[in-house]
Amino acid sequence: MKAFAVRELTHPSNIQLTADLPEPTLKEGEVMVDVYAAGLNYYDILQAQGKYQIQPPLPFALGSEFAGRIAEGYPIPPGAPYKPGDRVFGMAPGCYTERVAVNIGQILRIPDNLSFEQAAGMYITWPTSYEALVGRAELKPGEFVLVTAAAGGVGMAAVQLAKGLGAKVIGAAGSQAKLDIVKKFGGADYVVDYTKKGWQQEVLKITNGKGVNVIYDPVGMITDCLKCIAWKGRAIVVGFAAGTIEKVPMNLVLLKNIAIVGIFWGGYAVREPEHMPGVYQTLLDLLTSGRVATPVVYDKIYSLETIAEGLQALENRKTWGKAIVRIREDTKQASKAKL
Ligand SMILES: NC(=O)c1ccc[n+]([C@@H]2O[C@H](COP(=O)([O-])OP(=O)(O)OC[C@H]3O[C@@H](n4cnc5c(N)ncnc54)[C@H](OP(=O)(O)O)[C@@H]3O)[C@@H](O)[C@H]2O)c1
């Protein structure tokens, strides 16, 4: 079976496509899924080089978020609400490959209005942004939210969700092209270029001098953003895309009476698994009802043969929305969705 697999730790640009990865075998509670599409993530680049906190033994296929169909000709665990051909999305380590064995607890049915490519990048990205905004920052309709790296994977989902939840959204990104995308596809009310000196003044002007109620930050620039946070605002630590774990001067937290909260979606699986189904259900309801716009996919779709190129584009900040690899064409054409 074809796979984008790591045989020795190296940068993904040095990895050749493997054609002879053995088919997975099913364990108890697992279903076999034909993979149609998978989401590219920054940590794939780290994992390929041995720099990520989770390192499978060599050799291993990269990839974690996928969408596909329940495969024909394999057993399905008793009581599982799936049949061969059903469209599902979920999480499976090593999904840059043609077929994966997945625990039924880690898949969900793809709504009819989503394509495989849209669903492939959702399983981690979307609940991260939803739980951050609603569970951690307790976002309320009418509040101002500032999203950094707003054109990126988790950032774009945060913009779309905050908008759908009735917030006033300010998307911040690093180029005019990305700002246009954030406005056009994400539906942000305002956009600011955070590479321009003094960009926080623009945010203060938009908010009539009051500042934003919520900051959603996957970059690691909370300190910069606190220049335009409102009294009693909440800042969410989502990630460190800029590569440095930020240290925030605590006097800033005190002076504006603010809260800094973290989000680690993966941690819920271990510490609070009972919380996860409700979040996924709410997300699916928001997406199927049309209250939240469907996921934004980067306009260049990669293939198993060009994954390395896709990961390099991600690393070099060239992508926007969710970068996706298409692994199989959907010949059944059941999806009515458009990218
Ligand atoms: N907490 C959680 O549970 C959770 C879950 C998923 C992801 N994350 C984290 O969230 C972060 C973003 O993930 P993502 O999937 O949205 O990534 P992404 O799609 O690659 O977007 C990251 C964006 O960050 C911006 N950026 C600013 N400075 C950068 C730098 N020095 N190098 C690279 N990018 C820089 C870039 O946008 P501009 O060009 O506009 O500046 C880039 O496009 C990652 O650190 C990831 O690990 C956290």
Side-chain-side CA neighbours of residue 256 (13 Å)? 24
Nearest-CA residue for atom 41 of ligand 1:
174
Ligand 1 neighbour 265 (Cβ under 6 A) = yes
Q: Please list, residue by residue across 72-101, b when 16 or more beta carbons sit within 10 angstroms of its beta carbon and e when fewer do.
A: eeeebeeebebeeebbbbbbbebbbbbbbb
Nearest-CA residue for atom 46 of ligand 1:
239
User: Ligand 1 centre and the CA of 41: distance in Å?
Assistant: 9
Nearest-CA residue for atom 22 of ligand 1:
152
- Domains of the chain with bracketed CATH: 5-122+295-326 (3.90.180.10), 125-266 (3.40.50.720)
Which ligand 1 atom is the nearest neighbour of the CA of 43? 47
Mutate-to-test residue for ligand 1 from 238, 245, 270, highest number of ligand atoms within 8 A of CB: 238
Q: Which residues pair with 37 in a beta bridge?
A: 67, 326
User: Ligand 1 centre and the CA of 20: distance in Å?
Assistant: 33
Nearest-CA residue for atom 34 of ligand 1:
241
Q: Which tokens hold the place of 137? A: 């920052």
Cβ-contact 322, 121 below 8 angstroms: yes
Q: How is the chain split among helix, strand and coil, in percent rounded to 5?
A: 30, 20, 45
User: Ligand 1 centre and the CA of 80: distance in Å?
Assistant: 35
Cβ-contact 44, 311 below 8 angstroms: yes
Identify residue 184 by its one-letter amino acid code.
K
Dihedral sign of CA atoms 58, 62, 63, 68 in order: negative
Task: Report residue 253 CA to chain centroid gap.
Answer: 28
Say how far apart CA 83 and CA 75 lie, in whole Å: 10
Mention every residue, 6+ apart, whose C-beta is less than 8 A from residue 107: 31, 33, 82, 88, 89, 90
Q: What is the pLDDT along the chain (339 residues), one digit of tens a residue?
A: 999 999 999 999 999 898 888 899 999 999 999 999 999 998 899 899 998 878 999 999 999 999 999 999 999 999 999 999 999 999 999 999 999 999 999 999 999 999 999 999 999 999 999 999 999 999 999 999 999 999 999 999 999 999 999 999 999 999 999 999 999 999 999 999 999 999 999 999 999 999 999 999 999 999 999 999 999 999 999 999 998 999 999 999 999 999 999 999 999 999 999 999 999 999 999 999 999 999 999 999 999 999 999 999 999 999 999 999 999 998 775 545 444
Ligand 1 neighbour 157 (Cβ under 6 A) = no
Which ligand 1 atom is the nearest neighbour of the CA of 237? 1
Cβ count within 10 A of residue 301: 15
Q: Which tokens hold the place of 76? A: 């399905």
Mutate-to-test residue for ligand 1 from 219, 245, 270, 318, highest number of ligand atoms within 8 A of CB: 219
Dihedral sign of CA atoms 186, 191, 197, 198 in order: negative
Ligand 1 neighbour 264 (Cβ under 6 A) = yes
User: Ligand 1 centre and the CA of 215: distance in Å?
Assistant: 15
Mention every residue, 6+ apart, whose C-beta is less than 8 A from residue 4: 12, 15, 17, 18, 61, 62, 63, 96, 97, 304, 307, 308
Ligand 1 neighbour 60 (Cβ under 6 A) = no
Cβ-contact 234, 132 below 8 angstroms: no
User: Ligand 1 centre and the CA of 243: distance in Å?
Assistant: 9
